Amino acid sequence: MSSADLWGSMPTVDSKTVARMAPIFEKHEGRPFDVRRIRPGGYPSIDDAIQDLVFGR
């Protein structure tokens, strides 16, 4: 297996990174952030993460 195969399937924005962004969401939403809203496995882009977490898409 080449290293490209190993890393090629990794999400661009992993779920742990999104969890570390919780204080930012809390500040802008004005309420506690429930980490259960984070998609397991992460997101293909930061825009996808924002769309999912802010707008529920």
Model pLDDT for residues 23-41, shown as the tens digit of each residue: 998 998 899 999 899 999 8
Closest CA to 44 of 7, 12, 17, 22: 12
CA distance 1 to 16: 26
- Asked whether residue 19 is domain-assigned, the answer is yes
Q: How many domains does the chain have?
A: 1
Q: Identify the domain containing residue 19 by its residue range.
A: 11-55
- Asked whether residue 6 is domain-assigned, the answer is no
Higher pLDDT, 11 or 4: 11
- Asked whether residue 3 is domain-assigned, the answer is no
pTM strictly above 0.75:
no
- Asked whether residue 4 is domain-assigned, the answer is no
